[in-house]
């Protein structure tokens, strides 16, 4: 047991409660509370984050259940204050605060789970332009998670994300247009969006284009192009290697050795070029 933990373990309950209350305030940057109180929405959100995230778990061990129980009770006050600041930030129009409240209530993070409240906050965040919330709602309505399944509503949120510049939203809309899911089938628009997403190195879009070229669906069958794209998709996302593998095997059964070698050469060249562009883009953002 560390010295700090021994001291806290030997404290009278009242002093321990004070120590926990002080620990809830630890790490709050100087002046942040004053800035939040002045009405700054970003400061309100930052203060809520400091209060909501536990800073004291490292002080506890598995044999200190009584201390853990006391700490939990005292943390409740910090969580309640955090929720107040999240709400004040949300009322000031901060979409991040709306999205965080959605997450808190939908998952029941340190509060009682309330899916209905979470959904309301998620929708309000999306309406304020929060793209991740739009994508969450696309999935909710597409799969019927916490709401009645509604493919048209799913497509509406995906299009909003796409129109806001989301590559993921663009790819989702590409699939919806190609399949006519929640929108009238529009193959030219679907292919356009899929190519745009692939040009921005979206792994799903690259693989999808590879499958289309393999099957000759909506595009001419091109085994070299199909295998090149599937290889790039596998190379860029090794964790998703199983996704293109089945289609790569199908492709290999149809290709000549020369076609396979050419596709592998092109894929190696293009994968390296893409990785360099991604690396350069990461450096530019720093």
Give the closest residue to 181 by CA, choosing from 146, 161, 149, 155. 155
List per-residue pLDDT tens for the chain, 286 residues long. 444 444 445 545 544 444 444 445 557 899 999 999 999 999 999 999 999 985 544 344 434 455 455 555 567 889 999 999 999 999 999 999 999 999 999 999 999 999 999 999 999 999 999 999 999 999 999 999 999 999 999 999 999 999 999 999 999 999 999 999 999 999 999 999 999 999 999 999 999 999 999 999 999 999 999 999 999 999 988 666 557 889 999 999 999 999 999 999 999 999 999 999 988 887 777 6
182: left (phi over 0), alpha (psi -120 to 50) or beta: left
CA 121 to chain centre: 16
Tell me the angle at which helices 95-107 and 131-143 cross, rounded to the nearest 10 degrees. Answer: 40
Which pair of structure tokens corresponds to residue 267? 């894929």
- What secondary structure letter does DSSP report for 58? G
Which pair of structure tokens corresponds to residue 91? 């009322």
pTM greater than 0.75: yes
- Rounded CA gap, 90 and 236, in Å? 38
Residue 184: CA atoms inside 13 Å, Cβ hemisphere, count? 2
- Rounded CA gap, 214 and 174, in Å? 18
CA 211 to chain centre: 26
Spans of all domains in the chain: 1-95, 201-286
199: left (phi over 0), alpha (psi -120 to 50) or beta: alpha
Q: Which residues of 119-140 are buried (b: 16+ CB within 10 A; e: fewer)?
A: bebbbbbbebebbbbbbbbbeb
- Rounded CA gap, 189 and 183, in Å? 11
C-beta of residue 134 within 8 angstroms of C-beta of residue 161? yes
C-beta of residue 255 within 8 angstroms of C-beta of residue 214? no
């Amino acid at each position: 047991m560390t010295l700090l933990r021994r001291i806290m373990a030997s404290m009278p309950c009242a002093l321990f409660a004070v120590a926990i209350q002080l620990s809830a305030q630890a790490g709050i940057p100087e002046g942040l509370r004053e800035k939040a109180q002045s009405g700054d929405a970003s400061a309100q959100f930052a203060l809520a984050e400091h209060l909501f995230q536990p800073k004291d778990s490292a002080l506890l061990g598995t044999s200190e259940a009584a201390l853990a129980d006391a700490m939990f009770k005292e943390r409740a006050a910090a969580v309640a204050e955090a929720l107040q600041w999240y709400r004040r930030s949300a009322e000031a129009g901060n979409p991040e605060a709306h999205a965080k409240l959605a997450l808190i209530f939908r998952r029941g993070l340190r509060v009682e789970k309330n899916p209905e409240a979470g959904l309301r906050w998620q929708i309000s965040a999306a309406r304020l332009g929060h793209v991740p919330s739009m994508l969450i709602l696309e999935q909710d309505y597409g799969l019927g998670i916490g709401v009645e399944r509604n493919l048209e509503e799913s497509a509406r949120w995906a299009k909003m994300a796409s129109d806001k510049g989301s590559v993921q939203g663009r790819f989702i809309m590409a699939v919806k247009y190609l399949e006519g899911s929640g929108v009238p089938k529009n193959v030219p628009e679907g292919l356009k969006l899929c190519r745009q997403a692939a040009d921005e190195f979206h792994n799903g879009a690259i693989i999808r284009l590879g499958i289309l070229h393999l099957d000759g669906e909506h595009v001419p069958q091109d085994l070299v192009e199909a295998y090149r794209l599937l290889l790039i998709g596998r190379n860029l996302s090794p964790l998703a290697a199983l996704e293109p593998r089945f289609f790569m095997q199908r492709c290999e059964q149809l290709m000549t050795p020369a076609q396979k070698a050419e596709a592998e050469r092109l894929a190696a060249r293009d994968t390296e070029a893409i990785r360099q562009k991604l690396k350069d883009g990461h450096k530019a953002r720093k």
